[in-house]
Chain A
Amino acid sequence: MIPDHLSCRMLVEEVTEWMEGSLPADRRAELELHLVTCVGCTAYVEQLRQTSRAMAEAAQPDDEVPSAEVRSALLDLFRRRRPPDAVS
């Protein structure tokens, strides 16, 4: 049975605290119990996780960044400023 005191409407506001591990232990237990029985909230939490993953995925460096010119210019600068033995 879903506990009355933690509604889905409340869960969506507390879920980040839970994901970040900063919810007090008793509230955490209540939230986790809610998730066991609530299909809607389980889907909601999974959507948040998928949102995070999608953002990380969208950030994968593509082949144009950094450009070869920029990369070698930066490495040149680094070599000139650092003693040779500090460069690897």
Chain B
Amino acid sequence: MFATLVDRYHASLVRVAMHHVPSRAVAEEVAQETWLAVIEGIDRFEGRSSFKTWLFRILLNRARTRGVRERRTTPLSSLSTEPEDDRGPVVPPERFRGSDALWAGHWAAPPRRWEGESEARLLAKETWAHIDEALALLPAAQRDVLVLRDVCGLSGPEACEALGVSEANQRVLLHRARSRVRASLEHYLDDDTDSAGGVA
């Protein structure tokens, strides 16, 4: 039972922790500490939340605490700058027709379908590093929601409970985060297609 849990969740724990601490080695330590806390606390786990929620809540608490502590001893240059001012549209307005144009507000530069070569590239291992970079550039609250939802596969209610945010807030954070990563991937895949000879 415990072995199954470790196999199933350890990689996800390390991945979530990575976004809070400066290195993989520290993330691995945080994940291991989380398992120790699970072992110690399993008798107190009352099943009011799902095990997954409980597990990730422990991990996030530890990863944040550890992240703060590590930063005190880490050069400032390694701190990510967090774009907290984040109220603008998720797609740049210039991609839509202007308000005085026919079909105002409809696509002027619609997205391309990701199929064929684009889709293959999307799922290629090289793209993983790009996804990680895009995640790293998100404000922390957005990143936590997106990682729990899309990377770790938690449901909306589970993510709310693990993070202690309301459902409405969770949806706003998810929306902004996922939209940004999409935009980043679009940029990456389209650039790539263009440089490969303009295959549309």
A interface residues with partner B (beta carbon < 8 Å)? 2, 7-10, 12-13, 15-17, 20, 22, 38-41, 43-44, 46-48, 50-52, 54-62, 65-66, 70-71, 74-75, 77-78, 81-82, 87-88
Contacts and interface: CB of A to CB of B under 8 A. Distances in A.
B171 A16 contact: yes
B39 A20 contact: no
Interface string B95-109: 010000001111100
Contacts of B1: 87-88
B82 interface: no
Contact of B182 (A17, A47, A56, A59): A47
A44 B171 CA distance: 18
B178 A56 contact: no
Interface string B14-28: 110000000000001
A59 B89 contact: no
B91 to A, nearest CB: 5
Interface of B: 1-3, 6-7, 10-12, 14-15, 28, 31-32, 35-36, 39-40, 42, 89-91, 93, 96, 103-107, 110-114, 119, 122-123, 127-128, 131-132, 135, 146, 149-153, 156, 167, 171, 174-175, 178-179, 181-182, 185-186
A57 B107 CA distance: 30
Given A12-B179, A56-B150, A74-B39, 19 more contacts: A8-B96, A9-B93, A13-B175, A16-B179, A44-B111, A47-B111, A47-B113, A47-B114, A51-B178, A52-B149, A55-B151, A58-B132, A58-B151, A59-B12, A59-B152, A66-B7, A75-B2, A77-B35, A78-B2
Main SS class of interface, A = helix
Contacts of B90: 12-13
Main SS class of interface, B = helix
B178 A48 contact: yes
Contact of A56 (B10, B111, B135, B153): B153
B109 to A, nearest CB: 9
Contacts of A71: 3, 6-7, 10
A50 B174 CA distance: 15
25 contacts: A9-B89, A9-B93, A9-B96, A12-B90, A13-B175, A16-B171, A17-B175, A20-B156, A22-B171, A43-B110, A43-B113, A44-B110, A44-B111, A48-B182, A51-B150, A51-B181, A51-B182, A51-B185, A54-B122, A56-B151, A58-B127, A75-B2, A77-B36, A78-B39, A81-B39
